[in-house]
Amino acid sequence: MNSEPLIYDISVAGREGANLPEADVPLAKLPADLMREALDLPEVSELQVVRHFTNLSRKNFAIDRQFYPLGSCTMKYNPKLNEDMARLAGFAHLHPLTDASGSQGALALMHGLQTWLADIAGFAAVSLQPAAGAQGEFAGILMIRAYHHERGDEKRTKILVPNSAHGTNPATVTMAGLSAVELPSDAKGNVDLEALRAACDDTIAGMMITVPSTLGLFDSNILEVIELVHACGGLLYMDGANMNSLMGIVKAGDLGFDVMHYNLHKTFSTPHGGGGPGCGAVGVNEKLVDYLPGPIVQITDPGQEPDLPPFYELVMPRKSIGQLKAFHGNFGMHIRAYAYIRSYGGGGLREISNHAVLNANYIRVRLQDAYHVPFNRYCAHEFVMEGHWEDAPDIHALDISKRLMDYEIHPPTNYFPLIVPEALLIEPTETEDKQTLDSFIEIMIKIAEEAKAQPELLKEAPHNTPVRRVDEIRAARQLMLCCRPEPDWHKAEEKTE
């Protein structure tokens, strides 16, 4: 594929890409002394813009194009209906500071979603404020800290985090001004109970734990873990990143978790958008209800059926940890998740988890001879295997990933969780059909054979992608982060070339 020039490189002075009206009011005098002179933006036609971004799009792998078994990311089908719903004029063109009386439709939708999410995970209340999972985690740890603080329990400064955790967990703890204490995993991939017991004391503010774990396993000791932390006075945070295997299977609140974030952009199909936006709604039990980040939607007048509907308003929880972003969260994501839950209904949500888990186990069993699966038991919606063989010592997980690209499949997650060497974390999701899984399995088996017979095929992969392996070292040593303004060293280099 030819390389697509930068939009700046096709710019021609005087060309226009937007059709704006002339002023229909008298022209005011412009404040000359405050005005800028240069503004170096591209000058291109509308068709050039369409072609440029269409051509660029063709360089991406995406769920709409191919299988995307990227572990821990839940790359399921993003229904088109949801995109249309988010673009309805009454949602898309609604100002966030519209009074409650003028935004009852939007508030009713948010209230519905809050209520459903609370039920799905067994919590007393939900806030839709957090814009992403990491912000949900931050909200959760701030709530835990506020809870202890209010009780005068200031010595609780530590949060336990298993060594298999997402990096966001320890980073969140630091952001909240607490310290993360890493816990080892045992041979089965569960939290090491002995280490947990030893760590539990009156300095523990809480524990963050992903369920099922980042290894894709239900921790069979989970109730004991929760009991131990509660017994020492700590609260339990569940990272809901892996909730795609839990809907209708088990509720976090029932297990004893005090707070959890949902990733609407994983479990509830809102698109990943090449990095975002997302929504990391948080749910809490009664202990933490008053601390939720706000505003949240509440019914302030129940109304009277059938003629007088309830009245919804945005309210700040009584002891809220505060506002996490301007306005009311990523409302566009709320709309999509609402439409998604409506599409499945209560019974259907369980089918999501059933089939996500069925698909993952099917791949696991069919690949267990060709690859080493370190924790080889029934997995949840994903499982981890090792991308390395003793009889192909030069081949690493990364090489397998790159080779998969040649077969038009997006690689699994590499090198995470950190506790499995050469990890390949595979998450098929429920929306993939058996034929797609079979084809992936055959390709993975073929790559395992290639790794031994023709390792150079893997080492030099990918061969057929828009670019080959890229020079990340050059990118980091000779920082070139934008073409406008152009860094001095780059200008100098071009002259000498």
Omega before 462 within 30 of 0, i.e. cis: yes
Cβ 463 to another protein shortest distance, Å:
10
Quote the CA–CA distance of 388 and 439 in Å, as a whole number: 21
CB count in 10 Å sphere of residue 323 = 13
Residue closer to another protein (CB basis): 268 or 450: 268
What string of DSSP letters covers 237-270?
EEEETTGGGTTTT--HHHHT-SEEEE-TTTTT--
Least distance CB 228 / another protein (angstroms): 15
Give the residue with the Cβ less far from another protein, 336 or 388. 336
Q: Which is nearer to another protein, 251 or 388 (CB)?
A: 251
Smallest separation, CB 364 to another protein (Å): 8
Query: Which residues does residue 315 pair with via DSSP β-bridges, in sequence order?
Result: 296
Q: Tell me whether residue 303 or residue 452 sits nearer to another protein (CB atom).
A: 303
Query: Residue 295 half-sphere exposure, CB side, CA atoms within 13 Å?
Result: 17
Rg over CA atoms, the chain: 26
Residue closest to 241 by CA, chosen among 137, 315, 329:
137
CB nearer to another protein: pick between 273 and 452: 273
Say if CB 16 and CB 68 are below 8 A apart. no
| Nearest approach, Cβ of residue 202 and another protein (Å) | 19
266 or 388: whose CB is closer to another protein? 266
Which stretches within 201-324 are classed as H helix? Answer: 222-231, 252-255
Q: Which is nearer to another protein, 24 or 390 (CB)?
A: 24
Q: How far is the CB of 327 from another protein (least distance, A)?
A: 3
> What distance in Å separates the CA atoms of residue 240 and residue 262, rounded to the nearest whole number?
5
We find the least distance from the C-beta atom of residue 96 to another protein, in angstroms, to be: 3
Least separation in angstroms between residue 12's CB and another protein is 10
Closest CA to 299 of 315, 283, 285: 315
* Rounded (10°) angle between helices 331-367 and 434-453: 60
Q: Which of 473, 474, 494, 496 is nearest to 483 (CA)?
A: 494
By C-beta, is 381 or 388 nearer to another protein?
381
CB of 336 to another protein, least distance (A): 10
Q: How far is the CB of 164 from another protein (least distance, A)?
A: 12
Q: How far is CA 203 from the centre of its chain?
A: 31
- Minimum CB separation of residue 42 from another protein in Å reads 5
Do the Cβ atoms of 371 and 387 come closer than 8 Å? yes
Contact between residue 198 and residue 181 where contact means Cβ atoms under 8 Å apart:
no
CA distance 339 to 85: 8
Tokens in use for 494? 């071009």
**Comparing C-alpha atoms, which of 195, 207, 201, 197 is closest to residue 160?**
207
Q: Which two tokens stand for residue 486?
A: 């152009």
- The smaller minimum CB distance to another protein, of residues 103 and 210, is found at 103
Quote the least distance from Cβ 467 to another protein, whole Å: 4
- The least distance separating another protein from the CB of residue 124, rounded to whole angstroms, comes to 14
User: What are the two backbone dihedrals, phi and then psi, of residue 73, each rounded to the nearest 5 degrees?
Assistant: -110, -15
Q: How far is the CB of 197 from another protein (least distance, A)?
A: 19
Q: Residue 43 or 386: which CB sits closer to another protein? A: 43
Q: Toward another protein, which CB reaches closer, 173 or 385? A: 173
Pick between residue 196 and residue 217 the one whose CB is nearest to another protein: 217
Q: Which is nearer to another protein, 220 or 452 (CB)?
A: 220
Judged by DSSP in three states, 493 sits in: helix
Nearest to 163 by CA among 406, 393, 420: 420
Find out whether 266 and 431 touch, Cβ atoms under 8 Å: no
Residue 294: is it exposed, middle or buried by C-beta count within 10 angstroms (0-12/13-18/19+)?
A: buried
